[in-house]
Chain A
Amino acid sequence: MRDENAAKPNLRVLWRPLAFIAVLLLLWEIEIRRQSSHLLPGPWGVVGGIADLARHGLLLKYVVASLFRVTWGFILAVVLAIPLGLAIGWYRRAEMALNPILQILRPISPLAWIPIAILWFGVGDLAAIFLIFVGCFFPLMLTAINAVQSIPAVYVNAARNFGLGSTSLVYRVLYPAVVPNLIVGLRITLGIAWLVVVAAEMIAVSSGLGFLIVDARNAGNRYDLVVAGMLIIGIIGLLLDAGMQSLEKVKSFRWGYSED
């Protein structure tokens, strides 16, 4: 039998999943049509919902609001958690000391911090950004700690052997060595941030895609807008992830993967 990995022509690769999606959409539409009093929209209804949002200018407004919060919360977390995490990972005693605290804080859903967020920041953008920050901070810190700890000792020893001082060690060995791991961690955490912002907006603010979902339902059972919102959330989340993946593929970051 032929080697299992014979390459398929590109066209084939594309049409099968599309066909699958088309079938799912068809089943969905049929199911909705069958139950005429169903609250949920069919695919066509969702498209109409998206058009509706676009017409009222809400689509862009909400998307921008959500992205804005994600960006700020994520960047703040990156700027604080990564250097801290790298330092903690480097000094084993620091990691030993702080690990229990981190392990207890990590499993706490960012949303559980809502009352505190509202207490400190009131209802609004800052609270949402804070929640995203909290949701990203611990995963990023743990990623950074892990990245430092997985640097093969040989690299450090070789660097020392060549007489590198501390600063050079950090710039010429540590940083390049951790970047591949960090980038993967960034991508995963961005995905988390996107999940958190939507949830946060359902509770604590009055704009954004999460809010759209809650509001559309509360103010008139507009489930077409609800599902439209969900779809947009999915698509943007996917785009964010794809964007980060292309960053991973950038040649200058790829040295971590040569061991495939």
Chain B
Amino acid sequence: MSQTQGIGAPIALKTKLHVDHVSEVFERDGKRTEVLNNIDLEVGDGEFVCLLGPSGCGKSTLLNAMGGFLSPTSGEIKVDGEVVRKPDPRRIFVFQERGVFPWLTVEGNIGFGLSKLPRAEREQRIAHYVKMVGLEGFEKTYPQELSGGMKQRVEVARALAVNPDMLLLDEPFGALDSITRLIMRGELLRIWEAERKTIIFVTHDIDEAVQLADRVVVMSARPATIQQIVNIDIAHPRDISSPRYLELRDGIFQQIGIAHKL
């Protein structure tokens, strides 16, 4: 039995992001594709929320809309009460590691959004985040010499360096091998606990969602609606063998309609 939650943010937290009756319809060559159907969601400040669903279900579309890269066909998205209209450094996207700029070093990448700061402060920030993601010694390295996991860290550091309100991550660990993925999940949680940013994380991996999130928003296939919001009430660090973990996880499996015995 999984605990379902309403759309509202946990009572203890102030609402950061409010998705209000959002629908998204794409028109291409005269064909109408309904991608999102009446999504309602509230995310609290400092919450870690996962959007979970099969590939192509529209969760990336929702994330893009939250980031201001798309405007909803109907409904609106508000962050801190302000309607989201365009991309903004306060809501930084983290893509899979291919978002790292190959013509800049690690330092250059992390400092990318910091050009408006005075030099001393900039360097200080860069050093701080290099350390935070565990890339000391690689400051002057170019991305082509880094592994996938390391490039991903650069991207996260780059995102954090501008001190955004929210991080939007779109299957960031998808291109990594499964061992690196596990490590990166731990790193992400560590960073989150240090900085407590609001994080919205898109994934199609049920385990990943249950391991990371405070709440898991389970989305259906296209046109996407919210099937269920599961509150993961296990404290970090989460034991992935614990009965509660397995219970929540299996509940989601069932909700999606997949057998969890192969």
Are chains A and B touching in the complex at the 8 Å CB cutoff?
A: yes
* A residues whose Cβ falls under 8 Å from a Cβ of B: 1-3, 6-7
In the complex, which residues of chain A have a beta carbon less than 8 angstroms from the beta carbon of B85?
1
> Residue of A at shortest CB range from B86?
A1
- What CA separation (Å) do A186 and B86 show in the bound complex? 45
Q: How close is A258's CB to chain B, nearest CB, in angstroms? A: 19
- Is B70's CB within 8 Å of the partner chain A? yes
A3 pairs with B29, CB closer than 8 A: no
In the complex, which residues of chain A have a beta carbon less than 8 angstroms from the beta carbon of B28?
7
- Is B231's CB within 8 Å of the partner chain A? no
Given contacts A1-B71, A2-B71, contact A7 B86 (CB under 8 A): no
* B residues whose Cβ falls under 8 Å from a Cβ of A: 26-29, 69-71, 85-86
Interface centre among B28, B29, B86 (most CB of A within 10 A): B28
> Residue of A at shortest CB range from B87?
A1
Specify the main secondary structure of chain B where it touches its partner. Answer: loop
Q: How close is A4's CB to chain B, nearest CB, in angstroms? A: 10
In the complex, which residues of chain B have a beta carbon less than 8 angstroms from the beta carbon of A7?
28-29
In the complex, which residues of chain B have a beta carbon less than 8 angstroms from the beta carbon of A3?
26, 70
> Residue of B at shortest CB range from A3?
B70
- What CA separation (Å) do A6 and B27 show in the bound complex? 8
In the complex, which residues of chain A have a beta carbon less than 8 angstroms from the beta carbon of B69?
1
Given contacts A1-B69, A3-B70, 10 further A-B contacts (CB under 8 A): A1-B70, A1-B71, A1-B85, A1-B86, A2-B70, A2-B71, A3-B26, A6-B27, A7-B28, A7-B29
| A-B complex: 4 closest residue pairs judged by Cβ atoms | A7-B29, A1-B71, A1-B86, A3-B70
- What CA separation (Å) do A200 and B47 show in the bound complex? 73
Task: Jot down 12 A-B pairs with beta carbons below 8 A, ordered by A.
Answer: A1-B69, A1-B70, A1-B71, A1-B85, A1-B86, A2-B70, A2-B71, A3-B26, A3-B70, A6-B27, A7-B28, A7-B29
Q: How close is A259's CB to chain B, nearest CB, in angstroms? A: 16
Q: How close is B36's CB to chain A, nearest CB, in angstroms? A: 14
- What CA separation (Å) do A2 and B85 show in the bound complex? 11
In the complex, which residues of chain B have a beta carbon less than 8 angstroms from the beta carbon of A6?
27
- What CA separation (Å) do A1 and B26 show in the bound complex? 13
In the complex, which residues of chain A have a beta carbon less than 8 angstroms from the beta carbon of B70?
1-3
> Residue of A at shortest CB range from B27?
A6
In the complex, which residues of chain B have a beta carbon less than 8 angstroms from the beta carbon of A1?
69-71, 85-86
In the complex, which residues of chain B have a beta carbon less than 8 angstroms from the beta carbon of A2?
70-71
In the complex, which residues of chain A have a beta carbon less than 8 angstroms from the beta carbon of B71?
1-2
In the complex, which residues of chain A have a beta carbon less than 8 angstroms from the beta carbon of B26?
3
- What CA separation (Å) do A210 and B28 show in the bound complex? 47
- What CA separation (Å) do A6 and B25 show in the bound complex? 13
Q: How close is A222's CB to chain B, nearest CB, in angstroms? A: 50
- What CA separation (Å) do A241 and B188 show in the bound complex? 53
> Residue of A at shortest CB range from B71?
A1
Q: How close is B137's CB to chain A, nearest CB, in angstroms? A: 36
> Residue of A at shortest CB range from B68?
A1
> Residue of A at shortest CB range from B69?
A1
- What CA separation (Å) do A1 and B29 show in the bound complex? 18
In the complex, which residues of chain A have a beta carbon less than 8 angstroms from the beta carbon of B29?
7
Q: How close is A136's CB to chain B, nearest CB, in angstroms? A: 37
